[in-house]
Amino acid sequence: MHRIFRSFPVKDIAGTKMKMLNWASRFNIFCFLDDHGYAFPLHGQDVLLGAGVRHQYAPKPVMALAGLDDFLSRHRDWTLGHFAYDLKNEIEPMASSHPDLTGFGDIGLFVPEVLMTLSNGALSIGIHGEHHEAVLQEILEAPKEASTPGLLEMGAIRHGKSEEDYVAIISSLHDHIRRGDCYELNFCMEHVAENVRLDPVSVHAVLSQVSPNPFSALYRSGDAYLLCASPERFLRRAGGRLHSQPVKGTAPRHPSDPGQDEASRLALSGSSKERSENVMVVDLVRNDLSRVCMEGSVQVDELFGVRSFPQVHQMVSTISGIPDPALTFTDILRATFPMGSMTGAPKRRVMELIEHYEGFRRGLYSGAVGYFTPDGDFDLNVVIRSLLYHGKTGRLSFPTGSGITFYADARREYAECLLKASAMQQALERAAGKGP
């Protein structure tokens, strides 16, 4: 039986989003994607929700890719889920010595029982049956507000590196760059709190207020939750082309001072240091796409574009190509994952250095979450600016990172990591009823 869609008009978009999330929270698996109304080029779905499991792909480690193409071809339906950073260990292959504490496997995909889209004032419900009105009624009866406070209990936040330890590691990375081991590396540190009790829907609502971003998500897989406020797209296939939009280059916002804010944006746009980081990633993505695209089709559609988000201005470039029709999604994933903006170059060597110096396992952080359409197109984000929460262990983490090149100033890079963490910390303070 094919999925049948019916659309219903809605007037209160924000309230409907909360009703959808409160309704979805009863399910052991759900994925809610929200672009928060950004009208950037290559716009995808406005709001997409998949809840409940009709079919699931949750493979064992080491052989996670073995049945992926078969699963996608057998279930020509809407499919949502994730690809964790440590899938690299199968693609290269490599190994990770740190424990996985996020609770997400290397790959987790599911065909939902219920698929919803919210766009242009209409809620579209897709199910395998005819009980659309019953589902709609359940949503209408759900609360349209989050419970307050959303954060019930949390220990002190522990930063993964002190500033002095961070500076020492960057010095070692500069040595690797001087020796020619690499020329750019995305180095991250993890911010962690233990003994946390929170309501993921409520905290996600606060995070969306503090930091609405075009690739946001609330994703649950069992006891593991992702609360994501990402500004970055990893990879999209639509209109017969693959598109990647790496983000590399950051400057702070100054919302209370428009003149200073514009000066910060212009400084980012003209920064030779930020441009050099961005073009390195662009070259890496071009190389990745050239492995799976038709010869001569890979092109740079936008170079050094600047997008403005609530906390930061970001430098974004767009690279595209025509995928080789003989290749599968797994072929594409092997050539492009993990995304270059979160590794550096050359990719294999910097991932070895990341494993050695970061001191934690990234898990879903710097992986991807997104969806596949019934015709095989897909849109996947980059999991950054995110809270990773495990409901059973009570562990909450939010890694942040920055690109390290030969010219990187360690203390400025440390400050950038803290700037990127500020949205999550602000959301947690508000969720606890302590922030403005």
Spot the catalytic one: 17, 19, 88, 248: 248
On whether the CB atoms of residues 419 and 314 are closer than 8 A, the answer is: no
Is position 248 annotated as part of the catalytic site? yes
**Phi, psi angle pair for 186, to nearest 5°:** -90, 110
pLDDT at 42: 86
In the chain, domain spans: 4-431
Residues forming beta bridges with residue 320, ordered by sequence position: 243, 299
Residue 144 CB burial class (10 angstroms; 0-12, 13-18, ≥19): middle
Residue 134 CB burial class (10 angstroms; 0-12, 13-18, ≥19): exposed
pTM of the model: 0.96
Please say whether the structural domain 4-431 has been given the CATH code 3.30.465.10.
no
CA dihedral 341, 344, 348, 350 (to 10 degrees): -130
Exposed e or buried b for every residue in 342-379, given b needs 16+ CB within 10 A?
bbbbebebbbebbbebbebbbbbbbbbbbbbbeeeebb
Helix residue ranges, H only, 180-300: 200-210, 258-270, 272-290
pLDDT at 147: 63
Is position 232 annotated as part of the catalytic site? yes
**Phi, psi angle pair for 90, to nearest 5°:** -95, -30
Both structure tokens of 101: 């504490």
Pairing of strands 122-127, 4-9: antiparallel
Both structure tokens of 7: 């659309």
Spot the catalytic one: 184, 232, 277, 413: 232
SS3 state of residue 86: helix
> For the chain, what's the residue count?
436
Residue 193 CB burial class (10 angstroms; 0-12, 13-18, ≥19): buried
pLDDT in tens, the chain (436 residues): 689 999 999 999 999 999 999 999 999 999 999 999 998 888 888 999 999 999 999 898 778 999 999 999 999 999 999 999 999 999 998 989 999 999 999 999 999 999 999 999 999 999 999 999 999 999 999 998 876 678 889 988 998 899 999 999 999 999 999 999 999 999 999 999 999 999 999 999 999 999 999 999 999 999 999 999 999 999 999 999 999 999 988 899 999 999 999 999 999 999 998 898 899 999 999 999 999 999 999 999 999 999 998 888 999 999 999 999 999 999 999 999 999 999 999 999 999 999 999 999 999 999 999 999 999 999 999 999 999 999 999 999 999 999 899 989 999 999 989 988 888 898 899 998 886 6
pLDDT at 179: 96
Give dist(CA 43, CA 48) in Å, integer: 13
